[in-house]
Amino acid sequence: MASTSSKTPYWQGVSDALPFVLVVTPFALVFGVIATEAGLNITEAFLFSITTNAGAAQLTSLQLLQENTPAVIALVSGLAVNLRMAMYSASLTPHLGAAPLWKRALIAYLLVDQSYALSHAKFEERNDWSLQQKTSYYFGSCTPVVPLWSLMTLVGAFLGESIPPSMALDFAVPIAFLAITAPMMRTAPHMLAALVAISASLLLVWVPYSLGVIIAGALAMIVGAQAELWLSKRGLAK
């Protein structure tokens, strides 16, 4: 077996992303099951995953629609959950922004939490890499995750209610996000933003249509950004 250092950037990305298969698989299965229980047919559930390609946003929109929330609020909530992708894009632009337009479009479509977390960390570590090497690594990090999400959604939709409750596949949703976010909690602003998000989510649980989570996320981003600015002005930020 080749060592990590001898692998091409693409295969390094594939290798680094493989552990996420363990959480993406049940996560996607859960979505497929929930989608069919909510009234979507197999084709609609599959197309939902292919076109949206964002588990948290898909689950948020679907849950709100199940609760007879107005479609506009469900769509806005899904978009709000995915606002983090705009921050991801801004963070990756210095590394991948010079790629051709068609390649940037593909990068944008494939952008998920896992590909961002792996790529951002690797690009910070390997600042000597060329644009070609960085894009190769990025696409490698997407390969085990993105197609699997749509495929397992399809499998979950086929299985539907035949999956016994004892399997408790819903464990995969929080574990997936813990696996992504925990390694990123490296600075005081990160920790402060996480604390604000958790506290505000609990305090705003009474807000209708689950909009308290959206408000909590917005507050966390504001507090985290302000903390980063405050530390930067005093030369304390890393």
Amino acid at 205: V
d(CA 212, CA 37): 25
Residue range(s) defining the domain that contains residue 37: 9-184
pLDDT of residue 108: 94
pLDDT by residue, tens only, the chain of 238 residues: 455 556 899 999 999 999 999 888 888 888 888 888 778 889 999 999 998 888 878 887 887 777 777 878 888 878 877 877 888 888 899 999 999 999 999 999 999 988 999 999 999 899 899 999 999 999 999 999 999 999 999 998 988 766 666 665 555 556 656 655 665 566 787 788 888 888 988 998 888 776 787 788 788 878 887 887 887 777 655 5
User: Which pLDDT score is estimated for 103?
Assistant: 95
Residue 191 shares a structural domain with residue 133: no
**How many domains is the chain built from?**
2
Same domain, 172 and 89: yes
Q: Are residues 167 and 72 in the same domain?
A: yes
pTM of the model: 0.74
Q: What pLDDT is recorded for position 8?
A: 94
If asked whether residues 159 and 77 sit together in one domain, one would say yes
Q: Are residues 96 and 169 in the same domain?
A: yes
Examine the domain organization and report whether 52 and 97 are in the same domain: yes
Q: Using CA atoms, how far apart are residues 18 and 141, in angstroms rounded to an integer?
A: 8
pLDDT of residue 232: 75
Diameter of the chain measured on Cα atoms: 58
Does residue 1 form part of some domain? no
Q: Provide the b/e sequence for 180-217 (b: ≥16 CB within 10 Å).
A: beeeeeebbbeebbbebbeebbeebeeeebbbbbbebb
155 in the same domain as 179: yes
The token pair at 50 is 């292919």
Identify whether residues 22 and 32 lie together within a single domain.
yes
In whole angstroms, give the CA distance from residue 40 to residue 215. Answer: 29
Token reading at 77: 């909530």
Cα–Cα distance measured from residue 139 to residue 125, given in angstroms and rounded to the nearest whole number: 17
pLDDT at 198: 85
Q: Angle at Cα 165 formed by Cα 210 and Cα 75, nearest 5°?
A: 25
- 34 with 93, same domain: the answer is yes
Say which residues have a Cβ less than 8 Å from residue 71's Cβ, sequence separation at least 6.
Answer: 65
User: CA–CA separation, 139 vs 133, rounded Å?
Assistant: 10
Confidence (pLDDT) at 73: 82
Query: In angstroms, what CA-CA distances link 116 with 13, 82, 89, 101, 122?
Result: 11, 13, 9, 19, 10
pLDDT at 179: 58
pLDDT at 1: 46
If asked whether residues 177 and 204 sit together in one domain, one would say: no
Does residue 216 contact residue 83 with C-beta atoms inside 8 Å? no
Q: Which two tokens stand for residue 171?
A: 């464990």
Q: Are residues 131 and 42 in the same domain?
A: yes
Which token pair is 235?
């030369």
Task: Examine the fold and report which residue of 169, 184, 199 is the final residue of a domain before the chain moves on.
Answer: 184
